[in-house]
Amino acid sequence: MARLMSACGLVCSECPALLATQANDAAAIAKVAAEWSQAYHTEVRPEHVWCDGCMSSGPRKCHHTGECEIRSCVVGRSIANCAECADYACATLEAFLAQVPPARANLEALRATRA
């Protein structure tokens, strides 16, 4: 599978939800739901885990996709991800990246290739 990037810089193609979805593996989806429930201290149901990638044209998107401000912004600006944004490192993105340093590294690498 080619490297698939989310709006915020996460690498979808390395995500266990996307990998389980692509394999059509309900048991793996259930496992991801259980792991995310524990990690994020909330109930994550298996039906909310199926995902083809937040920026994909596929019909399945993780439940969080519908409420993601970053994805909504990227879609509204008609860009592939935040690395392409003229307002890169806005407050919304910075708050997210403070929690997920690998996503920052991915976006910064993309921006470096555009310079």
Ordered by start, the domain boundaries in the chain are: 12-114
Q: How far apart are CA 19 and CA 11, in angstroms?
A: 11
Is the pLDDT assigned to residue 1 strictly greater than 80? no
The answer to whether 19 touches 31, Cβ cutoff 8 Å, is no
Average pLDDT of span 68-82: 96
Token representation of residue 111: 């921006």
Residue 55 Cα distances to 10, 27, 41, 74, 98, angstroms: 11, 24, 26, 9, 22
- pTM equals 0.86
DSSP assignment of 34-59: HHHHHHHTS---GGGT--S-TTSSSS
Give the pLDDT score at 77. 97
pLDDT band at 36 (very low <50, low <70, confident <90, very high): very high
